[in-house]
Amino acid sequence: MTDEREQPLALSAYEQLADDYAERAPTKPFNADLERPTTQGLLPDIAGMDVLDAGCGPGITTEYLLDEGAEVTGIDASPSMLSHARERAPDAEFLRCDFGEELPFESNRFDLVYSSLAFDYVEDWDSLFAELARVLRTDGLLVFSSGHPVADYFHFDPENYFETEVVSEVWTSFGDPVEVPTYRRPLSAILNPLLAAGFRLDRIEESQPTDAFREKAPETFERVSREPTFLSIRAVMTAN
């Protein structure tokens, strides 16, 4: 991140969103009652584990991981998000870094890498998963979520499903409208880099809304109960 050209894809957007995101995301239905319960449901008992929260944002998942008894290190590219994270989860360690690049940790450092809807802002998943494999211990777990490739295909209507490409949309539910860029990719571009890095695919979940979602947004509940929204994956590091 040496100049503006090399900064992470959505850094500017998240700097603008940080304050409103930190306030609203803890209870916003798509976050609190759809993605997070699905992804967190893939976690084992993590008490005593060394956990990396990759793309920790304002520390919402960091706080959850701490409450479950883990020792947590959170990383994010956004200084504003990290400021909120330090307030929300003061018992965690936080570092500013771009997890699309080499991570500032020794090999075999963590028992678990957890990431909530953050990898979609990284283009090169071969390098991403190779680096996560490096910092994980053998038999360590990777649990992460991303946009569902089917949902993204119909939402963004690309010319070619099989391309990995930058798309964007304007977010209006976190205060002032902010255009947020992300990468859309096919299912093969999600799974193959994971397998090539030495991970064994252990479980896949497609997000389903909770009863709390129904109470907060009953009309939207009917749609997300029938259509894919997020993809959550648990994988095991087979060897280092």
CATH number assigned to the domain comprising residue 182: 3.40.50.150
Rounded mean pLDDT, 110-129? 97
Q: Which residues touch 219 (CB under 8 Å, ≥6 apart)? A: none
The more confidently predicted of residues 4 and 67 is: 67
Question: Is the per-residue pLDDT at 4 higher than 60?
Answer: no
Question: Is the per-residue pLDDT at 101 higher than 90?
Answer: no
pLDDT at 240: 62
Tokens linked to 135: 């910092």
Question: Is the per-residue pLDDT at 239 higher than 80?
Answer: no
Cβ–Cβ < 8 Å for 116, 63: no
* Each residue's pLDDT tens digit, 26-78: 999 999 999 999 999 999 999 999 999 999 999 999 999 999 999 999 999 99
Specify the pTM: 0.95
Chain centre distance of CA 199: 18
Question: Is the per-residue pLDDT at 1 higher than 50?
Answer: no
pLDDT at 78: 97
Tokens linked to 12: 């500017």
Q: Provide the domain count of the chain.
A: 1
What confidence tier does 7 reach under pLDDT thresholds 50, 70, 90? Answer: confident
pLDDT at 5: 45
- How many percent of the chain have pLDDT more than 90? 94
Domain that holds residue 154: 4-237
* Each residue's pLDDT tens digit, 122-168: 999 999 999 999 999 999 999 999 999 999 999 999 999 999 999 99
The number of beta carbons lying within 10 Å of the beta carbon of residue 221 is 20
Question: Is the per-residue pLDDT at 2 higher than 70?
Answer: no
pLDDT at 3: 43
Chain-wide mean pLDDT for the chain? 95
Chain centre distance of CA 227: 20
CA distance 67 to 180: 30
Query: Is 133 strand, coil or helix?
Result: helix
Cβ–Cβ < 8 Å for 117, 25: no
What is the enclosing helix (H) or strand (E) of 74? strand 71-76
